[in-house]
């Protein structure tokens, strides 16, 4: 089982560039999440999708957009990257109905210069 | 600010000793979970405790939950060097099952 797959693993952007982080899960999970992790800050929720066709803001949504393309895929887009968005980004999924455990991807390390 | 905060931020113990870390949160919850993160990796689920439970065990892990104090603790007994990792609590607010937010984490070092 692949579980949760994130691409790319590493990315370097210049300020103002745009990019999309891809996430796919093969566990037929209903809920999907995007988090960012900065040193000393733990994980902060950017956006989540409780089910196919819905998306909601998390704790730090500014500067990001998301698309729940289908049940498997949940993408995160940076329209105009800023140095403050330098971080490690994690995608996760869960069955969702009763807040069962989250399964995480291996992360994307993003640097914005 | 984040929903959860772990205490201590860092903990260093000898192999064989017990490790206790605490999590405090701000709003009423449905469930609380604990996760482990090895350096540079994604998070791995350890244990889930529901709001109507007070204690739960899984192998060498013991989790307690006190909803009146909005706090939880994770006890790792007979620690091993392989337990060296960061540990995070995660909660979902009552009425929002799918919005799962994390605390700031405790970095545990187990010295062989």
pLDDT confidence of residue A2: 78
d(CA B72, CA B55): 9
- The answer, for A50 touching chain B at a CB cutoff of 8 Å, is yes
- Which chain A residues are within 8 Å of B4, Cβ to Cβ? 42
Interchain proximity B31–A99, CB inside 8 Å? yes
Query: Would you say how long chain A is, in residues?
Result: 113
What residues pair up with B13 in beta bridges, in sequence order? B110
Chain B residues in contact with A100 (beta carbon < 8 A): 48
pLDDT tens string B32-90: 999 999 987 889 999 999 999 999 999 999 999 999 999 999 999 999 999 999 999 99
Measured between beta carbons, the chain A residues lying within 8 angstroms of B102 are: 35, 42-45
| B102/A45 CB distance under 8 A | yes
Closest to B89 (Cα-Cα) out of B65, B110, B69:
B65
Number of cross-chain residue pairs from A and B with Cβ atoms under 8 Å apart: 74
Cβ of B2 within 8 Å of Cβ of A42? The answer is yes
d(CA B48, CA A34): 20
Q: Is B82 in a helix, a strand, or coil?
A: helix
Buried b (16+ CB within 10 A) or exposed e, A6-36: beeeebebeeeeeeebbbbbeeebbbbbbbb
The answer to whether A107 contacts B42, with C-beta atoms less than 8 Å apart, is yes
- DSSP string spanning B57-77? EETTEEEEEETTTTEEEEEE-
Which of A50, A90, A99 is closest, CB to CB, to B42? A90
Predicted confidence pLDDT, tens digits, chain A (113 residues): 679 999 999 999 999 999 999 999 999 999 999 999 998 778 999 999 988 889 999 989 999 999 998 999 999 999 999 999 999 999 999 986 665 789 999 999 999 99
Instruction: Say if A99 is an interface residue toward chain B (CB within 8 Å).
Output: yes
Burial class (CB in 10 A: 0-12, 13-18, 19+), B87: buried
């Amino acid at each position: 089982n692949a579980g949760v797959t994130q691409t790319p693993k590493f990315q370097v952007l210049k300020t103002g560039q745009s990019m999309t982080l891809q996430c796919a899960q093969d566990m037929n999970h209903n809920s999907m999440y995007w988090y960012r992790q900065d040193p000393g800050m733990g994980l902060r929720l950017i956006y989540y999708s409780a089910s196919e066709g819905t998306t909601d803001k998390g704790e730090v949504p500014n500067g990001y957009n998301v698309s729940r393309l289908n049940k498997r895929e949940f993408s995160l887009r940076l329209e105009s990257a800023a140095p403050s968005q330098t971080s490690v980004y994690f995608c996760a999924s869960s069955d969702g109905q009763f807040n069962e455990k989250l399964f995480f991807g291996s992360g994307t390390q993003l640097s914005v210069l | 600010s984040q929903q959860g905060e772990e205490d201590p931020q860092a903990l260093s113990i000898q192999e064989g000793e017990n490790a206790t870390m605490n999590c405090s949160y701000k709003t009423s919850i449905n469930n609380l979970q604990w996760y482990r993160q090895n350096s540079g990796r994604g998070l791995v689920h350890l244990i889930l405790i529901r709001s109507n439970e007070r204690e739960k065990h899984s192998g060498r892990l013991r989790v307690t939950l006190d909803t009146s104090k909005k706090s939880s603790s994770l006890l790792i007994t007979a620690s091993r060097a392989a337990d060296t990792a960061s540990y995070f609590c995660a909660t979902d607010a009552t009425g929002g099952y799918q919005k799962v937010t994390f605390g700031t984490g405790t970095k545990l070092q187990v010295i062989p």
